[in-house]
Structure formats: structure tokens, C-alpha cells
Amino acid sequence: MTSSTEPTRATRRGTANWPTAGLSFGGDYSPEQWPWETVLEDMVLMGEAGVNLVTLGVFSWVVHEPQDGRFDFTWLDRMLDLLHEHGISVDLATPTAAVPMWLHRLHPEILPQDEHGHPLAPGGRLGWCASSPVFRSYALRIVERLASHVAGHPAVRMWHISNELGGGNGRCHCPVSNARFRDWVEAKYATVDALNDAWGTAFWGNTYSSFAEVTTPSGVTAHNPGQLLDFERFSSDELLGHYRAERAVLQRWTPHVPITTNFMVGLGPDVVDYTRWADETDIVANDHYTYGPDPLRHQELAFSGDRMRAMSGGGPWMLMEHAAGAASWHPINQPKRPGELIRHALGHLARGSDSAMFFQWRASRLGTEQFHSAMLPHAGRDSRIFRDITTLGGHLRALREVQGSVVADVQVAILHDNEAGWAVKSGLKPINRPSYAESARAVHNALFERAVTADIVPPWAALADYRLVVVPGLFLVSDTNARAVRDYVEAGGTVLVTWFSGIVDEVNTVRTGGFPGAFRDLLGVSSEEFSPLTVEERVALDNGWTAKRWTEFMRAPEDGSGVEIVARYAGGTVSGAPAITRRTVGAGAAWYLSADLEAADLGALVDRLLSESGVEPAAAVPRGVEAVRRRSASESYLFLINHTAEPAWADASGTDLLTGTLHDGQVPLAAGAVAVLRESGAWSTGSQGPGRP
Ligand code: GAL
């Protein structure tokens, strides 16, 4: 079981084992869908664009093993040789995301079952149950054959295990999964009494008399929060077990080739617990897709990048997939706005990616994703997208020296735990269907708009080097991690805890005695009832700010125990109660925000916290201009991205690596423009800033 143990902070990953000499640029490549003339044209156009890495073979199981036990690597050999001749490295996929139809015919029992016991139909992808020993044996056989066949081929520079594990097969209720879940539960709790205590089965008389009675939480009236949360952990562990099994085969045959798998890190909660998986990969990789109609999509992109960086221990990570234009799974799939392809790729780079990889190289004519954008669109070479791709390729070559540098001067941490997100959605809540990450997103947006970079770290991360720590809606927290927040404050840190934090322990049991449970003593306040609001309702605060969605009946002691009431509710069912408090604790300060504030008011609160804790922006820039600093041993690089439709200026100096222009004091940024300055000593004000050497 991995979920119950907390990994140590990942060692920073460097560039030693990186698959390309410069920043990686390319995408998923599916030449099996095309005639050979097209493949040859691909080589020419990849050269023109500057592609140096492709992900090959993601869905090619049936190409490698057209029938049970008959292997044929002719196509693969030809492709590896061709790509190598053209100087393109290969991130070779194990093909286990694409179960051959012959395997479905032979073993229909490998299909995952939904909560009503209905199996998926064959086809699509990831049509397998992670607990299935039958699937595992076929999967490991093809992985073994593949790895032994390509071992030593110079084109193979990285392994890509399966594809987005859990995306489609994340939760399974088949008989094998039920049996494995029972074993997992027994291994965790050892006695049925301990299980009954942890899950609180006395409620509704669901008490177990034997582990044999335990099932996966499939279709019943309403489920037990402890059982639901453990099922999330179990499912993540089963997928991790599969990943590890494939990895062990690859490590035997190609011990020097780095291994990754593509995560789907966004807002969370994630289908698997990526933070607890990250150390299992040699390079942490992510797939990220923006939603065209979302006006804050670049900020959501930054949020996921800031999560990825924590998973790579602060070091470079790999953007494995993003879109050159529109996706095809949203109700309406909008293209990227002019220049957005480059802004998005550089946005990922700014936050620590050493790559800009896409799904996919050439747009498919056929199949499920025939309208998903690609680096080379249906329109072909003479297209806006391909011109932007070629420009991006040039930018990445110009930025080559940035490779291996790390995001620097990060002074703010946002605590984020996937288990807290799972716990929020496990069981009925004061607001149902809440999105765990919304509170974190709101604070992150306010920081983004102030050009303040935040690390989005798990609650067991080392906090001492940060000037400000935000605990946004951290619903589940262990005593140890809550204690670490307290220690941080006592030692001089500033913390902001927001509503619906500290509510339950690790088994999803409510902490009694007043909210926010685990943080109540630190904050010196206690809430006795939540008072959520309808979508239309608003509640005024006495300082002019406005609450939406959430308020609380909070009490602060009247004995002068150091709690300052920053604002009170001036309306609603909680009128007169404290809404925002601040308490001096040791050498630091602990703030509590019991309401969901309107964005502008949250921004005003963030301003106060930044100034109180001495957090500086990466550069003086107007709202809408992203500014993030990366630093190598000898240089400092300032990424500036103007996400607005207006010209802007940044107060900064250095040489723009994209144009060669030297800027002294002010950098003009046309609407939508990007710049990456080598600051050449301009930054060396004596302060390295905390958080990153
Ligand atoms: C990813 C997936 C790719 C492709 C892409 C675009 O989630 O890994 O195979 O489907 O989305 O839809």
C-alpha cells in the first residue's frame, strides 16, 4: 500500500538522463496510421519544425503482436531506424493502453466493470482492470518482448509506460477487484473491529462480521465516506502496481533508459494519486489541455505547472502532451487564439517544464480523435498552426541554455493533497459536488495576477523556507501535517487557512469540538455550524467585502487570547460573527478565512498577506502579464508572457533570448507577446530569495 505512507520529498531531478540534448520538442507520433510516403514527408516537416523527440507506439500493441503470441517488430525497427537517421529521439511507449481485439475475444473478463457490474465494451482504450492477473500476464509478455527487442537501439531515449493510466480504467468493480479490495482492506486494518471503527459502520448498521463481507462501493443508496476514500486509495494502488510491474521489466532490459508515464495533473482530485506516485518515475511527465472558453485557462495551466514542479522535487519536468489548437472532447472546441500556442508552451516552460510536447504530430483523418488538433493540421504545412509550431521550434532552440534551470525565488506554498480531494467527494457534504481545488485555484489566481509564483506542495513538504503558506480547503489532514503547519507559524511563518480545512482525519472521520478541527487551536477560533449559500446569495462583511457560497457560525474568544477580528459578517444567518481572523502565534501569524470571498476581495486579502509576510513578485508587471523566474548555477531567466490584448511593459533588464534585444529597465511587450530575459546580473540584488538555491 502506498497511499498510507508519505513519500519523502523527491530528490531534484536533473538533466543527466534527459532524452534530448536541448529542450524536448515534438509529440505523439502514429505513423502506423499512414502510408510510407506520408511518413517520409513527416521526416522533412519534423526537420523544418525542429522536432527532436516523438512518442512512438502508444497504441501499437496489435502492430507488434497481431495475433496471440505472434510477434512482429518489422514496422517498429523501420521506424526507429528512420527516426534515428533524422536525429529524432524516441520516447517509446509500452502499448498496454490499447488492448488488441484478439485479447478481448480470448479474455472478456479483463474488461473493467462499472459500479452496476456492467463491463465496458471492447475497443476504445484502457479496456482492462488493473487487478486482472490475466491482463497483467499478457501485458508483461508484450512489454518483455518489446524491451528485449529494442534494448540497445540508440533512438530509444525514454520509456513511456502505457498511457494516462486510470483514464478510463480508474475504478473497477469486477469480481477480481472486489477480492483484491477485500485483501487490501484486511492488510490495512488487520481486524474487523478496526475496520468497523475506521469506517464508522455502526451508522446505518453496516457493521461487518468478517472481511469476506466487504465489497467495493458499488451501486447502493449512499456510501460510507471511509469506504469510498479507501476505494480511491486502493484503485490508485492497483494502477501503481501495474505501472511497477511494467517498469520492472523495462529496468531489467534497459537499465539506463529513463522511465516515465504521462500524468493528467490538473486541478485534482486526480484519478490516481500522482503526488505519491511521482518518485516512481525517472522524469515526471504531464498531459495538459486547456478549455477554450475558459477566460482564465492560462492561469489553470499555471496551476497545473506549479503542481508538477512539486512532483519533480523542484527540478525540471516534462510537458508530455498539450494541444496545438482545439481539442475534440468538449461540447465546443475552440482553436487557440493568435499567439496562444506559443504563450501556452512558454507558460509551461516558465513553470519548470523542459519540454513542449503535443498530442499529436499529424492530425488523424480517421478514428475517434479525427478532429483533435495537431502540430501538422489537416490543412497541412501552409497553415497558421504549422507556422506557429515552426516559430516555437525556433524559440526552443534559442532557449536551449534554460534547460536544467529551476524555478527560483518561490516564497509562497499552497498545500494541496489529492487525498483531501478524494475525501471531499467521498460521502455527502454541506455543499455536494464541491470541487476540492476551487479554493486553491482562487488564491493561486490572485497570486498569478500579482506575478507571485507559488509552489503547490503536499502537506508533508518542508515549509520553513516559504514566507507565506496557504492552506486552502484542506479538508483532510493528519495530526502530523497539521502540527507541521503550527510549527511553521511558531517559527515565524505566516499562514492563511481557508474554509473547510482540517475537517476530517485520514479515515474521513469528522474532528469534533469545533471547525476547522485540526487547525482550531492554531487559529484560536471555533466554528459550530456551516452556513453555505445558494448560487445567487451574497453576504456582506463589515469591511465592505462580500462572501459567496460559504459562511460559518464562528466564535472567537473574548479573553484577548491574541485573536484579532479582521472582519465580521454584516448579514446573512451569521450576521455579527467573525468572518476573518488573525492570530499571532510564536513568531508568526495564523489567519483564518471562514468565507468564500469574491475574487477582488480575496485579492485584497492576498495583498495584505503578501505585504505582511514580505513576499515580492518576480517582476513589476501589470495585471495579466505572467512573470516567472528560472535560475541555473550561473544565470537567471525571467519569463514574461503578456496574456492581455493590450501592449504592456515589465520593469526588468537583460537580453531577450527570443530576439537578441537588450533591455535596460523596461521591457515592452506587445499584446500577446512573450520574452525570456537572460538577466545577466541584473537580478543579483544580494537576495537569492528563499525556497530554491
Ligand atoms: C490525451 C491522451 C492522448 C489523446 C489526447 C487528446 O489525454 O493521452 O492519447 O487522446 O488526450 O485527446
pLDDT in tens, 545-574: 999 999 999 988 877 678 999 999 999 899
Q: How many other C-beta atoms lie within 10 A of the C-beta of residue 653?
A: 19
Q: How many other C-beta atoms lie within 10 A of the C-beta of residue 208?
A: 15
Q: Which of 65, 164, 246, 340 is catalytic?
A: 164
Per-residue pLDDT tens digits for 187-203: 999 999 999 999 999 99
Q: How many other C-beta atoms lie within 10 A of the C-beta of residue 619?
A: 21
SS3 for 144?
Answer: helix
Relative to the CA of 97, which ligand 1 atom is closest?
9
SS3 for 464?
Answer: coil
Q: Whose CA is nearest to atom 6 of ligand 1?
A: 359
C-alpha cell at 376: 501538422
- As a whole-number percent, the residues of the chain with pLDDT over 90 amount to 92
pTM beyond 0.85, yes or no = yes
- Contacting residues for 198 by C-beta, under 8 A, at least 6 apart: 189, 226, 507, 509
Average pLDDT over residues 344-365: 98
Q: What's residue 560's pLDDT?
A: 65
Expressed in angstroms and rounded, the spacing between residue 658 Cα and the centre of ligand 1 is 30
- As a whole-number percent, the residues of the chain with pLDDT over 70 amount to 95
Expressed in angstroms and rounded, the spacing between residue 307 Cα and the centre of ligand 1 is 20
Please tell me if the CB atom of residue 369 comes closer than 6 angstroms to any atom of ligand 1: yes
C-alpha cell at 325: 489548437
Please tell me if the CB atom of residue 364 comes closer than 6 angstroms to any atom of ligand 1: no
Please tell me if the CB atom of residue 333 comes closer than 6 angstroms to any atom of ligand 1: no
**CATH homologous superfamily of domain 625-679?**
Golgi alpha-mannosidase II (2.60.40.1180)
Average pLDDT over residues 473-494: 98
Q: What is the 3-state secondary structure (H, E, C) of 653-677?
A: CEEECCCCCEECCEEEECCCCEEEE
| Mean of the per-residue pLDDT values of the chain | 94
Q: What is the DSSP letter of 440?
A: H
Expressed in angstroms and rounded, the spacing between residue 327 Cα and the centre of ligand 1 is 9
Q: Whose CA is nearest to atom 5 of ligand 1?
A: 359
- Cell 477554450 locates to 292
Relative to the CA of 323, which ligand 1 atom is closest?
6
Average pLDDT over residues 334-355: 98
Element (H, E) at 244: helix 225-253
Of 369, 371, 373, the residue with max ligand 1 atoms within 8 A of its CB, to mutate for a pocket test, comes to 369
- 319: β partners: 286
Average pLDDT over residues 71-75: 98
Round to whole Å and give the CA distance between 474 and 500: 7
Average pLDDT over residues 51-67: 98
**CATH homologous superfamily of domain 57-275?**
Glycosidases (3.20.20.80)
- Cell 499555471 locates to 302
The secondary structure of 559-604 as a DSSP string is S-SSEEEEEEB-SGGGTTSEEEEEEEETTEEEEEE-SEE-HHHHHH
Cα–Cα–Cα angle for 279, 30, 130, rounded to 5 degrees: 45
Please tell me if the CB atom of residue 286 comes closer than 6 angstroms to any atom of ligand 1: no
Relative to the CA of 369, which ligand 1 atom is closest?
12
Expressed in angstroms and rounded, the spacing between residue 162 Cα and the centre of ligand 1 is 12
SS3 for 40?
Answer: helix
Question: pLDDT tier at 682 (50, 70, 90 boundaries)?
Answer: low
> Catalytic annotation on 6?
no
Q: What's residue 434's pLDDT?
A: 63
Relative to the CA of 328, which ligand 1 atom is closest?
12
Question: pLDDT tier at 10 (50, 70, 90 boundaries)?
Answer: very low
pLDDT tops 50 at residue 79? yes
Q: Count Cβ atoms within 10 A of the Cβ of residue 320 and give its class: 0-12 exposed, 13-18 middle, 19 or more buried.
A: buried
Relative to the CA of 125, which ligand 1 atom is closest?
9
Q: Which of 238, 246, 300, 321 is catalytic?
A: 321
> Catalytic annotation on 321?
yes
SS3 for 340?
Answer: helix
Q: What's residue 432's pLDDT?
A: 79
Expressed in angstroms and rounded, the spacing between residue 180 Cα and the centre of ligand 1 is 29
Please tell me if the CB atom of residue 359 comes closer than 6 angstroms to any atom of ligand 1: yes
pLDDT tops 60 at residue 655? yes
Q: What's residue 268's pLDDT?
A: 76
pLDDT tops 50 at residue 11? no
Q: What's residue 13's pLDDT?
A: 54
- Contacting residues for 82 by C-beta, under 8 A, at least 6 apart: 39, 43
Of the two residues 269 and 298, the one the predictor is more confident about is: 298
Expressed in angstroms and rounded, the spacing between residue 321 Cα and the centre of ligand 1 is 8
Average pLDDT over residues 236-258: 98
Expressed in angstroms and rounded, the spacing between residue 353 Cα and the centre of ligand 1 is 19
CATH 3.40.50.880 correct for 412-613: yes
Q: What's residue 556's pLDDT?
A: 85
Round to whole Å and give the CA distance between 413 and 206: 41
Using alpha carbons, select from 400, 395, 383 the residue that is nearest to residue 45. Answer: 383
Q: What is the DSSP letter of 108?
A: G
